[in-house]
Structure 1
Amino acid sequence: MTQADDRILETLSDSGLILSPRVLAVNTDYSRHYLSTRLGKLHDADLVDRVDEGLYQITDHGRAYLNGDLEADELEPEP
């Protein structure tokens, strides 16, 4: 998990909206390309859902992570 991941999840949670990497880029200090990459990782970790092509929303797991109920090391794939 990176600082950008936290920012993405916070933005999705605070807005309550389904957002694209482009909209997230406008509202954060990260590029659209970087956010697309991170959203893919967050999707793999079940922290965001891909609602449609290029559109994402936070999941219950994502909210649990933000609330401190789910630790980052619990998200990492086991070797």
Structure 2
Amino acid sequence: MVERVPWMSPVDYEIMLFFDEHPIQVSPRVLAANIDYDRQYVSKRCRTLSDAGLLTAVETGLYQLTETGCDYLEGELDVRDLEIEE
């Protein structure tokens, strides 16, 4: 079971689940089209998730899920390890 992280928004879970189900590198634009959210908002959330170590920017504008992100989705990560400055 995934523990809720206070700073996360609902779209963050959808972003991470997309990457978990599709282990590919995608841009926020492609991601937004697939999860039906605004591209600019998805881009902002990808940067936030990257700052937390849950996603990584592999090339300019492309993201993928990190091992930490996988651990979080599997419920194997203490959410206190995911504190970020907002």
Q: TM-score, normalised by structure 2?
A: 0.83
Q: Which runs of 5+ in 2 are unaligned?
A: 1-7
Of all paired residues, the percent bearing the same amino acid is: 44
Q: Does 1:58 align with 2:79?
A: no
Structure of greater relative contact order (alpha carbons < 8 Å, 6+ residues apart): 2
Q: TM-score, normalised by structure 1?
A: 0.90
- Work out the CA distance in 1 between the residues paired with 2:33 and 2:80: 29
Out of 67, 74, 78, the residue aligned to residue 67 of structure 1 is 74
Q: Give the paired residue count.
A: 78
Following TM superposition, the consecutive aligned residue runs of length 4 or more in structure 1 with deviations greater than 4 angstroms are: none
Q: Does 1:3 align with 2:10?
A: yes
Q: Which runs of 5+ in 1 are unaligned?
A: none
Q: Which residue of structure 1 aligns with residue 51 of structure 2?
A: 44
Superposition pairs for residues 15-34 of structure 1, below 5 Å? 15-34=22-41
Q: Which residue of structure 1 aligns with residue 5 of structure 2?
A: none
